[in-house]
Structure 1
């Protein structure tokens, strides 16, 4: 039986999504096997360490195979889908042939019919989809795929891929190709167990570890790499104790009968514990914060400021009838003015060259808490925007962050970060610098407090400001001067007029 993905088709692999990303998790498939796709049509939604991304396929034709189930992590370069690029004159013949085969016959006949339909269509047409794509050009340029011209055909000599990628099965009237497996079909007594990635399965195989003896700590019993590593450490420790006992006594230790796997599995979580994989956004945040703490000698200074004047200025601006100005936009405007006076903080350290790299433009990041974790969108050229423009850009990026639509480019390239943790109802914090930047300004909640104003005790709107900075780029005098200028602008917004 011919595999459903074989034939004269194009194999589309997970492209390089940029920004050093090496893997992505399949969140949702947007196409089924047998669907007809156009050039640059999104076929899958993946989550990287930066954002949720819809991946467009640079080939047009019939989807003959999908690789990986939802929730699977794939490295860059792994196969995503196979597309039979030849279609009929109207572009619908292969789809009809595939659907008819899937509905009329069993799984094997459907797979053979799909392959035959796509191959026959290619031979009947003089202008396949790939050729039409060459004439029209593609609007999406993926790294590793030149979509402005038709890819060159190459014939591959492959072994029988049924054993490597699984057999074709019927699902809801469609021919579906199972992902890579190492054993019999799912559901048999000796079938494969669910693991988070092929790397975990290979690690177990290299160490002669039977995955069926483990109970995964992931969702629905999914076996994680941590489960396998824990089991290997426990096995090594047990083997060491047995060897020591035999060396001392000359007898092998007597072991108790093995209990059921669910009760004795080293990788099984203890009662009352929950394990959450550090992957996706959460994993990226963990890596970046750890690197920041490891590499940056940071220091923090803070000051309380009377924000009554800033709040009154914002009220007056919003009463003028124009677009509403957000508080974070005013704080951002103050940040850019302060960085113009103290450019040492708009910088990074090149550790390899042992140089401080100072930037002319301010690309202002701001911390945004979402359901997927903490992300830091970047407002490009914040120094060139007024309060109204900053308000609009903050709103756009915040909405995209909550909907998971931020692109990798909108999450990288910042030179300074503003962290308004006051929205969580706290007064102060010592934030961790967003590596590789050199500083972060933290803003606490604005709350009514007793304050000495013009020599008299009064109730004023008070805010705590904190600055965490890389001590390699400047000393305390520069950091203190920056923070004092920010506080002066908060207390007397007219100070900003000197920089306009």
Structure 2
């Protein structure tokens, strides 16, 4: 007899209390293995595939795509046991074969290893059992088996004030096949925006690289659809001032960023100082380092050199590698340097973190920065890779701007901003010359230090940019 077990949204860590369903990876009526990912959710920190700790037949799903679920809310129910995973009449046609598999209605085997009847303590992918999940298969249960599963799952679901996504019988004969051909969309935010506004992505021509559909493409389609709809109504009055507006809820990542910035402005008495710097020497040093490594060696990025300079500056001015405990009214200085760097993605602004940056070489920093940047772009950063920074480096020069007064990444004490590097007239060795000039800005928490410390930190960074050999003084 099959036992119907309920799987709830697990605690995804980092204090997160809710997640948004982005994409279901299984259908009702599908056989799942232990630890097989069943749903992709978006938390305020990252995209996460959630594995199911049960093996059996999916009998119901809870939460539509785009819906937010609280931790502990039901995700799906699974009919566990041989009666649920093997159709009636399958005995003698493979259920007791030498491979120990359970045959489905088509005679194909479903391995018992990781199959029905097993559970694990997995919360996230890679936790719990380490065996690879069995290949997903659909089953076509007999009416009797479907009725039995339906009766049990209705008994489970009735205890919750929530309806399953699928109103039909929990075990479905076949799932609808997806439309053929891939859609050139990477960002879950773009998909959700299109879904919420009824935009068919397959009808759009992307303006991004290789036809990639961007958020701006979806917003244009929404605006284009709104205008004719308003004018087509009989007797319609002149459009209101807000006609065609798009409202985007401040939730998920954007909501967390908004709350964090508001808290930073509310709690931190910040001040900013800045200086123009001749970066010609730093660019020359980078070229020399990459040339010395040979054509096949990994290239050292400019951001990595700036991060290396920051770790050296923080060693001299540890007051800025700190945070303020407002409850205890204490300044907490931190021994380890975890550098965050601002990265703009389709999901919004994220700050990946390079752990123990103070112990890394320029080459190691460059490698880790590259890895985290790639993960930020494809949305695969884990919550642990987005938290715990002690100092943030913000290269806003990539947006073509010279200066900024950035908001401190709460609860840190400082952030270094770097503007674009452009050729400008500059007095070099007593003569006017064209040099590569940038602007550095330091926004700092005035509670942890005074202007003398902040100015000393920024001047040291500027000296290292102008003359990278300054770094050798501390070696």
TM exceeds 0.5? yes
Of the candidates 29, 37, 48, which is equivalent to residue 32 of structure 2?
37
**Counterpart of 2:460?**
485
1:278 is displaced (CA, Å) by: 0.9
In structure 2, what is the Cα distance between the partners aligned to 1:440 and 1:286?
18
Does 1:314 find its partner at 2:290?
no
Of the candidates 58, 69, 73, which is equivalent to residue 68 of structure 2?
73
Q: Secondary structure at the residue paired with 1:397?
A: helix
1:165 is displaced (CA, Å) by: 2.1
Measured against aligned partners, the alpha-carbon deviations of 1:410-448 in whole angstroms (never above 9, x if no partner) come to: 000000000000011110000000011110000000110
In structure 1, what is the Cα distance between the partners aligned to 2:325 and 2:162?
45
Of the candidates 315, 322, 325, which is equivalent to residue 340 of structure 1?
315
Does 1:495 find its partner at 2:467?
no
Change (3 A) 1:26 1:162: closer
Measured against aligned partners, the alpha-carbon deviations of 1:224-279 in whole angstroms (never above 9, x if no partner) come to: xxxxxxxxxxxxxxxxxxxxxxxxxxxxxxxxxxxx9x999xxx994142211111
1:34 is displaced (CA, Å) by: 1.2
In structure 2, what is the Cα distance between the partners aligned to 1:284 and 1:95?
50
1:85 is displaced (CA, Å) by: 1.9
**Counterpart of 1:93?**
86
1:8 is displaced (CA, Å) by: 2.1
Of the candidates 383, 396, 404, which is equivalent to residue 429 of structure 1?
404
In structure 2, what is the Cα distance between the partners aligned to 1:44 and 1:94?
25
Does 1:26 find its partner at 2:21?
yes
Work out whether residues 23 and 73 of structure 1, in 8 Å CA contact, stay in contact via their aligned partners in 2. yes
RMSD: 3.5
Larger relative helix fraction: 1
Work out whether residues 428 and 465 of structure 1, in 8 Å CA contact, stay in contact via their aligned partners in 2. yes
Work out whether residues 62 and 95 of structure 1, in 8 Å CA contact, stay in contact via their aligned partners in 2. no
In structure 1, what is the Cα distance between the partners aligned to 2:158 and 2:276?
71
Change (3 A) 1:96 1:347: farther
1:50 is displaced (CA, Å) by: 0.8
In structure 1, what is the Cα distance between the partners aligned to 2:331 and 2:315?
17
1:174 is displaced (CA, Å) by: 3.2
Output the TM-score relative to the length of structure 2: 0.72
Does 1:62 find its partner at 2:50?
no
Q: Secondary structure at the residue paired with 2:3?
A: coil
Change (3 A) 1:159 1:369: closer
In structure 2, what is the Cα distance between the partners aligned to 1:459 and 1:343?
35
1:62 is displaced (CA, Å) by: 1.2
**Counterpart of 1:219?**
197
**Counterpart of 1:232?**
none
1:127 is displaced (CA, Å) by: 10
**Counterpart of 2:298?**
323
Work out whether residues 58 and 171 of structure 2, in 8 Å CA contact, stay in contact via their aligned partners in 1. no
1:58 is displaced (CA, Å) by: 1.3
**Counterpart of 1:14?**
9
**Counterpart of 2:432?**
457
1:498 is displaced (CA, Å) by: 1.4
For this pair of structures, how many residues does the alignment match? 374
In structure 2, what is the Cα distance between the partners aligned to 1:146 and 1:389?
31
In structure 2, what is the Cα distance between the partners aligned to 1:386 and 1:428?
28
1:141 is displaced (CA, Å) by: 4.3
In structure 2, what is the Cα distance between the partners aligned to 1:128 and 1:394?
37
**Counterpart of 2:174?**
174
1:39 is displaced (CA, Å) by: 1.1
Does 1:83 find its partner at 2:78?
yes
Q: Secondary structure at the residue paired with 1:9?
A: strand
Measured against aligned partners, the alpha-carbon deviations of 1:311-351 in whole angstroms (never above 9, x if no partner) come to: 00001111111321100000000000000000010011111
Output the TM-score relative to the length of structure 1: 0.68
1:282 is displaced (CA, Å) by: 1.2
Uncovered stretches (5+) of structure 2, i.e. residues with no partner:
91-103, 105-111, 131-152, 177-194, 200-232
Q: Secondary structure at the residue paired with 2:65?
A: coil
Does 1:271 find its partner at 2:264?
no
**Counterpart of 1:120?**
none
In structure 1, what is the Cα distance between the partners aligned to 2:54 and 2:258?
37
Change (3 A) 1:78 1:96: farther
1:93 is displaced (CA, Å) by: 1.4
In structure 2, what is the Cα distance between the partners aligned to 1:412 and 1:95?
51
1:309 is displaced (CA, Å) by: 0.5
Work out whether residues 33 and 55 of structure 2, in 8 Å CA contact, stay in contact via their aligned partners in 1. yes
Does 1:419 find its partner at 2:394?
yes
Measured against aligned partners, the alpha-carbon deviations of 1:154-188 in whole angstroms (never above 9, x if no partner) come to: x9976857995263259994379xxxxxxxxxxxx
Give 1:316-395 correspondences, 5 Å limit: 316-320=288-292, 321=294, 322-395=297-370
Of the candidates 282, 297, 311, which is equivalent to residue 254 of structure 2?
282
Give 1:138-287 correspondences, 5 Å limit: 140-141=122-123, 160=158, 165=163, 167-168=167-168, 173-174=173-174, 219-220=197-198, 270-287=242-259
1:131 is displaced (CA, Å) by: 5.9
In structure 1, what is the Cα distance between the partners aligned to 2:452 and 2:50?
49
Change (3 A) 1:47 1:332: same
